[in-house]
Structure formats: C-alpha cells, structure tokens
Amino acid sequence: MDLPRSFTIREGDLRILNPYSPEKLATLGQVIRLRPGMSMLDLACGKGEMLCTWARDHGIRGTGVDISTAFLEAARARAAALGVADRVGFVHADAATFVADEPVDLATCIGATWIGGGVTGTLDVLDRSLRPGGMLLVGEPYWRLDPPDQETVEACYARSKDEFQSLPDLVRLFGDRGWDLVEMVLANQDSWDRYAAAHWLNLRTWLDDNPEDELAAELRRELTDDPARYVRYVREYLGWGVFALIKR
C-alpha cells in the first residue's frame, strides 16, 4: 500500500502538499484557537507539516496517517527537526478506515476527501474519531466560477461538474449534514501559483536527472501540458480552502 512514485517526484521537497502558504497554515492554527495539550488526528497527512508545526507553535499532540511511505519518512524527519517527535507520531495505514484509539479534539483531512468518496463521506470518516464537541477541519476545492463545459471540468481534476461545489453550495452542504461552519481560511491565486509552479520545477529537475527512467515520457508530457492548463483553467475556475466545523 503506497502512492505511485510520480506523486513523490511531483511534490519533491515541498512540505505543504496543497495550495496553502506557510502563512495561511499558521493563520489557520491561530484562528481555530489551538491550545496546549489538545489532541489531533490528521488523515492523509502527507509530510505532516500541519501537525508538526502546530505541535511546535501551539503545544498540541497527535497522529498523522498516510499511505505514502516516502511522505511519512519526511514527516518523521520534520518532527525530529522541529523537536516535537515526542508529541506527534505517524502511521502507515489506509486513512479511509483508520479510527483513533481515543476520541480527539481535532480531526482533519486536508485536500484528500477521496478517502470518504467525497466531502459527505469524509465528514463521517472524521466524525468516528472525534470527541463530542470537537472540531473537524476539511480542505476541499470549490468552483470559483461556473465551469462552462466538460473540457474545463476535466482540466480542473474533476470527472463531472458535480464533483465540486460552489463555495455557497459547499457551505450549505456542511449545514445540511448537521455541522456549523465556525472558521475558514481560503487559498488565493498566489498560493495556488506557488503550489502549481513548484511542481513544474520539481518535474523539470527530476527529468534532467533521470532522462531514461520509465516514468520520464509520462512526466515530460505532464510538464509540457500542465502550465497552460493551469493558467487557462485551474487558476481561474478552481478555489480551495480549509473549513472548520463543529457538530450542532
């Protein structure tokens, strides 16, 4: 059980594996009012940057879960570098079925709602590990503009227009599922740019170093096509944010 190697190549040495800047990640930790000793479960945690920096900055403790062995290795190294390895741990497991040993104060899934088959299912997955009155964080794309055709939809990583919501519809969905939206921190086009463009440099650097690799042709096509697709479609049509929810 692991992610395809192309994921680790594309992400390279990035620490935040979504369209967030370090400043936005720090803002999120501040506005949800983290306190020392709070417990956190981060499903599909990637390289663990959120858990590690919040443990350092706010004194929380917690567990990150991911299927990528490479990402988890980076997460453990980051925890050691920040001096928080005694407060955070990382587990190689399927986030879709993982349940915390004890209910947590904060359960999160940032940019990986595929673990529950979409937003609704992921709320249920997270809720299994949440204490009564605890908080969920969900990171999810949304339509900034209504996509005019299927070409735009597919260029924005969706199979159908219904795979993502508009921001008002996403907020309404949370309420319909019985959750109060109590905070949100949204990415902007600049933070999208930083994330997308970092992939291009990672791909080019890897291709220069590995021209004969079996993945070279596939990743060469991606690097050729992705910048134009991103500026034409993703940058204009797709938003992204993290939403803090407490059950009614």
Distance CA 23, CA 49 (A): 12
Question: Distance (Å, rounded) from C-alpha 44 to C-alpha 47?
Answer: 9
**215-233 pLDDT, tens per residue?**
999 999 999 999 999 999 9
Percent of the chain with pLDDT over 90: 99
Helix (H, G, I), strand (E, B) or coil at 147: coil
Q: What is the pTM of this model?
A: 0.95
Rg of the chain taking only CA atoms, in angstroms: 18
- Mean pLDDT of the residues in the chain: 97
Q: Is residue 232 part of a domain?
A: no
pLDDT in tens, 149-192: 999 999 999 999 999 999 999 999 999 999 999 999 999 999 99
pLDDT digits (tens, 9 = 90+) for 69-123: 999 999 999 999 999 999 999 999 999 999 999 999 999 999 999 999 999 999 9
Q: Is position 109 within any domain? A: yes
Q: Determine, yes or no, domain membership for 65.
A: yes
| Residue 233 covered by a domain | no
139 lies in some domain: yes
Domain-located, residue 85: yes
Is residue 164 within 8 Å of 142, Cβ to Cβ?
Answer: yes
The b-or-e profile of 27-42 (16+ CB within 10 A means b, else e) is: ebbeebebeeebbbbb
Q: Do the domain assignments include residue 121?
A: yes
Is residue 41 included in any domain, yes or no? yes
Tokens of 120: 């609704």
Dihedral through CA 93, CA 72, CA 39, CA 122, nearest 10?
-50
Range of the domain at 128: 5-144+163-188+239-247
Domain count for the chain, please give it: 1
- Supply the pLDDT for residue 2: 87
Tell me phi and psi for residue 21, to 5 degrees: -90, 160
CA 22 – CA 15 distance, rounded (Å): 9
- The CATH number of whichever domain residue 137 belongs to comes to 3.40.50.150
The dihedrals phi and psi of 234, each to the nearest 5 degrees, come to -60, -45
